[in-house]
Structure 1
Amino acid sequence: MSLPPDGPAIDRSFGNQAVATDERRALIRRVFESVAPRYDLMNDLMSMGIHRLWKRTLARRVAHCRGTVVDLAGGTGDVARLLRGPGRQVTVCDPSAAMMAVGRARADSAGLQWIEGEAEHLPFADASVDLLTLSFGLRNATQVAAALAEVRRVLRPGGQYVCLEFSRPRPWLAPMYDLYSRWVIPRLGAAVAGQPEAYRYLIESIRRFPDQRELATLMREAGFTDVRWENLSFGIACLHHGSRA
């Protein structure tokens, strides 16, 4: 794990001023509605199954947590299923009803609760959540700072926030990763999901998202304590940890 020192100045136009909020929200909803039926299959193909290992790592890191658990941007519930366990009430929260409908229809969804909601306007009371996880969804928030503030608001004192997100790989890996994401992933999206434009958007959202140090700085500015990060697969993905004091 890396303990982040004070980071550099951050371009806060990402997800805020660069694209009008309503337009970006509508675009994101269209993207996930269009890919919902084959979203999990595409994740398997694009990552060669490695995304499942990343999500299991997240689940292991929070295995000690109990109480009310929210998996934000939980989509079809793949992470929420890993979070189920004794002493936990797990809720999937996602802005896409289409994505959650795919997950709710699966036979292994027993015990999960489902609620529609956006990261910037969480449908939970102040200080009501013990653990909030967020996997590959923060970069789709229209306003990242507002989403982080909302996460902190709903956490109980001592509550934990863990975010799994794509980040910046090691320099030796970055050129190969860039070529793969730029040329291979949209073609997979076209061949399997029939939605190359949707996957071009998803790749562009990864490129524009703050890196490890920048996101840690944003979390501290939102009021989180014990902020740290843990690179996975040489930085292709990253687990960001924070607490509400």
Structure 2
Amino acid sequence: GSSNQTDHVTFSHCDYYNSNVNPFFLDAILADYITVRNCFLDTDANFLRLQGDHNHIVGNIFHNWGTAESLKRIWLMPSKYSIISHNQFISCNIEVKLGSNYTNISNNIFRTRDGANQYDYAILLKADTVDLEDIIVSHNNIHNFGTGVLLTQLADAKSQDIIIANNRIDGCTIGIHIDTIKNEHTMIHGNQLFGNTTDLTDTGVETRKHDNISNAATRTWLAEA
């Protein structure tokens, strides 16, 4: 689908190998219910831009065969009530922005193809022109990105009710980076952060940080903001 609104769109058991033309990405997929499951996408084109509600991206392999990181993303912009789980992202990443609320990103693997920190981030949560709220990022394995999880904002937008929990993040320049000034009721806990240049940085307000396991076996209790 491209820019036409419809009720249901499903991609299942699709295999696109090393293709410069990706049928999944034209402009945007607009639908009330979008399902992408058990697909293998190995391509130089953009992957997915989802603009709709009730998305299920489950059990896929996304492999960036090219080198231009800015073109290899799963975009939710805007797209509410989304579940992204049990996928493998190789040298590509996820952007959640433009009010893509009620999103659950869990049980995924993010890694880079050549072992270098070639990507800015694995998961971007961005409050831009619309507030961002009710996001869960949990039980993901993130390895060798510039930043594992980045929560940021533009202008007066705020983020709230964000949970970043029980992820394994290693080999990144920054494991988790909270770069917001209007960040409310956000909780970071139970993450395994090790082998990163910096495990956790935070400029947010009302961020609760506790019970993260930092630097391999050393447990660090961080004071609540």
TM-score range, shorter chain: under 0.3
Q: How does the TM-score come out when normalised to structure 2?
A: 0.27
Q: How does the TM-score come out when normalised to structure 1?
A: 0.25
Q: Which structure has the highest helix share of the two?
A: 1
Q: Which structure has the highest strand share of the two?
A: 2
